[in-house]
Amino acid sequence: MTTEIEKRETDEAPEAVAEDGAVAEDGAERADGQDEAAARENAAEDLDGVEDDDLEPEDEAGAVAPAASGVGQGAAAIVSAGLGIVALTGSWVGTIASARASLVGQLETSSTASVAQQVEAVYGDAWHATALVGGAFALVALLVGAFVLVRPAFGAPGRAQAPWIKSVAWAGVALGVLGLLLAVAKYMDLFMGLPSAA
């Protein structure tokens, strides 16, 4: 009897060991699965707590902050310098104004007028019209250049103006002042005045 009972226990023992091993493996797999699920949930919660701005790779932190490009100020400075050059060299507007003043002077001057009156009406008015147009270009160049130079004072603080913009703006201001002085001298007959018709 005892021998048979021991034999039965010996036969059942491997089965019990096998069952225990299977249960242990199932428990380990379940524990691993629970650990992975918990890790996924934690990662999802971490991602939910992070803002979208933090996920962007170095858009704001690593990259240079978008500073003022100064395109408008640069264009205005170039325009100022160009207008200053036009004021000194002349323009088609001045040519047209001069031709019109000369034509009006010829039409309004009678044939019995003196030589001095004819010279003044035909050439003097045309010369003065050219001076006025040049002075207008010079004044606009001066104002635009001055506006570009003082613009940073009214803009965002801490944003420096590009050196080339300042240089071109100063050139426009200088050309504008020179053109304005030349226009005043021409209009007042201080520079290349009309010859006297004695």
- Structure-model confidence comparison of residues 155 and 63, the more confident one: 155
Residue with tokens 């004819």: 118
Reply yes or no on whether the pLDDT at 129 is more than 70: yes
User: pTM for this one?
Assistant: 0.60
Q: Is the pLDDT of residue 144 over 90?
A: yes
* Residue 24 clears pLDDT 60, i.e. is over it: no
Specify the pLDDT at position 46.
Answer: 57
pLDDT computed for residue 32 by the predictor: 59
pLDDT of residue 65: 42
CA distance 132 to 114: 26
Residue 17 — very low, low, confident or very high, per pLDDT cuts 50/70/90? Answer: very low
pLDDT digits (tens, 9 = 90+) for 91-126: 899 899 988 988 888 887 777 777 777 777 778 888
Burial class (CB in 10 A: 0-12, 13-18, 19+), 4: exposed
Tell me the per-residue pLDDT of 39-75, one tens digit each, with 9 for 90 and over. Answer: 666 655 654 554 444 444 444 444 444 455 678 888 9
Q: How many CB atoms lie within 10 A of CB 92?
A: 9
For the chain, the DSSP string reads -HHHHHHHHHHHHHHHHHHHHHHHHHHHHHHHHHHHHHHHHHHHHHHHHS-HHHHSTTTTTTSPP-----HHHHHHHHHHHHHHHHHHH--HHHHHHHHHHHHHHHHHS-TTS-HHHHHIIIIIHHHHHHHHHHHHHHHHHHHHHHHHHHHHHHS-TT-PPPHHHHHHHHHHHHHHHHHHHHHHHHHTTSSSPPPP--
Q: In the predicted model, is pLDDT for residue 12 greater than 60?
A: no
